[in-house]
Structure 1
Amino acid sequence: MDDPSISELQERVKARDEHIRESWVHAMEARIVRTELTKCQRTEGVNHYENCKEWADRYLTLLAENRVKGYKHVDS
């Protein structure tokens, strides 16, 4: 069994950090959209179903696509 070299380990750590960073950026984007949706719903009152539809649709899309995932994928 060959041990990975230092440069291979550094590349692996760099790739892992980049993956985690991107995952959290997407999660924070969903949080910002949720905040804007909440503001819209509060200001629009009973009309929020019509006037905040774009925010709600975008939030649902982000929730489905941008889940925080770990770096390792374990096959079960």
Structure 2
Amino acid sequence: MPEYRPSVDEYRQTLKLREEHIRESWVKAMEARIVRRELQDCYNTEGVNNIEVCYDLAQKYLAMIRDNKVKGYKVIDQE
């Protein structure tokens, strides 16, 4: 059975796509970190009204930490 070996251009393209994927993943994670800081500032400045005032920001942060995790390039099935 012949072994498939990618060409140099295919390998470079794969590396480029991998770097872009990882970069985008880190950008999303850092956006979540910024929203967390804003939420902390909101809680600290609003005092007793923080639950009402910061609710939208808290919901946005919860959605971001659910979706914006740093993910690797390879996906391994664990069934």
Runs of 4+ in 1 over 4 A off after TM superposition: none
Aligned with residue 22 of structure 2, among 20, 23, 31: 20
Quote the residue 2:76 is aligned against: 74
2: CA distance between counterparts of 1:2 and 1:19? 24
Q: In the TM superposition, what is the alpha-carbon distance from 1:2 to its structure 2 partner?
A: 2.3
Equivalent residue number for residue 37 of structure 1 = 39
Q: What is the number of equivalent residue pairs in this alignment?
A: 76
CA RMSD of aligned residues (A): 0.7
Return the TM-score normalized by structure 2.
0.93
Q: 1:52 and 1:2 mapped to 2: Cα distance?
A: 55
The CA distance in 2 between the partners of 1:7 and 1:55, in whole Å, is: 44
Where in structure 1 are there 5+ consecutive unaligned residues? none
CA distance in 2, matches of 1:2, 1:30: 40
Task: Among all aligned residue pairs of Structure 1 and Structure 2, give the percentage whose two residues are the same amino acid.
Answer: 54
